[in-house]
Chains A and B, each alone.
Chain A
Amino acid sequence: ILNVEQSPQSLHVQEGDSTNFTCSFPSSNFYALHWYRWETAKSPEALFVMTLNGDEKKKGRISATLNTKEGYSYLYIKGSQPEDSATYLCASMDSNYQLIWGAGTKLIIKP
């Protein structure tokens, strides 16, 4: 079983500020790294799926990078807005094609 860790566990950010958080995963047998956004009382929704070392993906004000050699991914949010408040989950997929999930980073945007 892989061990996927996310930090910080929670984060308070002032509206308008930019922020980032980390997902760490074992680099051996790596296949893919997923990021999801999970709003309270809703289902997780996919943001990015990345597979190659050095991958960078962007969706609006949110972007992510991937380093498979050292086993980490960063999620960046530029100019945080109240609607960005959510829990951000990452999951690593190994060569057995099973997703192992981190516990999430809970982001709270203060107006």
Chain B
Amino acid sequence: GAGVSQSPRYKVAKRGQDVALRCDPISGHVSLFWYQQALGQGPEFLTYFQNEAQLDKSGLPSDRFFAERPEGSVSTLKIQRTQQEDSAVYLCASSFSSGSYNEQFFGPGTRLTVL
């Protein structure tokens, strides 16, 4: 497709369940970012990949969060033992390069609700 896609668009999980969120970036985009957006807030950085290398994971809130991009294209964000505070929209963004003008193209997000 022409843009960044994410699946599922909506996910309801019971507290303690594991979830996996998928991101398909724009073809050829080197950089991939995950953000968490709580209701009424701006997106907050979680982690960043350049190709398959995870260069920055400083924003991951706990060791229950894990992200991978094994072949440098599709990425998965996994949350283990979900908690209610994990409820948010998870946005994926990609950019052509990591250069100074790094316009990021965002996907529609996955809205996670933890009951």
> Does B bind A?
no
